[in-house]
Amino acid sequence: MVGHLRKKLDEKGVINMGRLLVFEGIDGSGKSTQIEMLSNFLKSQKQKVFVTREPGGTEFGEKCRELFLGEKLDGLTEACLAFASRNEHILQKIKPALRLGYWVLCDRFSDSTIAYQGYGRGVEINFLREMATNIEKQLSEIRIIYVHTSLERCLERIKKRSGVKNKFDNSSKIFYEKVIYGYSNIVKERGGTIIQVDGNDEIKKVFSKILQSVPELEQFKTNHNHLGDI
């Protein structure tokens, strides 16, 4: 370790200094707000930050997103689109950003596909896990922050949202219960890679919990006072 940046050689011998932090949670969980807060905070600490999302993140990925959210599709088709988008995202954006020392904050990743298409829509979970494992092999490290918020609160937030709704916004309570159950299993399976925070808490408290509990953010723990500026 040199300073606060990890210097690690990847399989091609390239110095890989950035960090990938993925945010997961059901719609309305508050993860996007936390990403924005963390991005602002890291920038205030003179860090380079790249905020991105899935499906999406590249020109190709945004086309996948349009199809993914705009069309009525079979769950397996959705999963294939999500993985196709993800692979290009890693190759075109995430790996280059990590090599340049960026903090990559990604709104959703493989666990969304396992929770939504696997647990929610009934696509075979082992197949999705295998795909996810193969895709993630391309990354040396990944940290996942799961924002766990009560379904009632999430549904309230979705209802209040202005702007265009996506097809998942009209999903049934039963669908979301399955997705939440999926996430709880994923948390158990992933072990230490995933950090769960309680999204029912007040927004700043959730953010503070993220700063306190995510090992990659350890160096910023003492800069807590900056929270007031965010």
CB of residue 86 to ligand TMP, shortest distance in Å: 8
Q: State whether residue 118 is helix, strand or coil.
A: helix
Q: Which is nearer to ligand TMP, 62 or 218 (CB)?
A: 62
CB of residue 127 to ligand TMP, shortest distance in Å: 14
Cis status of the peptide bond prior to 96, with omega within 30 of 0: no
Q: 72 — phi, psi (to 5°)?
A: -85, 110
Give the footprint of ligand TMP on this chain (CB under 6 A): 27, 53-55, 82, 107-108, 112-113, 116-117, 166, 168
Q: Which is nearer to ligand TMP, 109 or 220 (CB)?
A: 109
CB of residue 144 to ligand TMP, shortest distance in Å: 13
- Tell me the two tokens of residue 88: 């290009």
Nearest Cα residue to 42 out of 202, 211, 209: 211
What is the rounded CA–CA span in Å between residue 72 and residue 79? 13
CB of residue 51 to ligand TMP, shortest distance in Å: 12
Q: Which is nearer to ligand TMP, 16 or 78 (CB)?
A: 78
Q: 133 — phi, psi (to 5°)?
A: -60, -45
Are the C-beta atoms of 210 and 197 separated by less than 8 Å? Answer: yes
Q: Which is nearer to ligand TMP, 18 or 28 (CB)?
A: 28
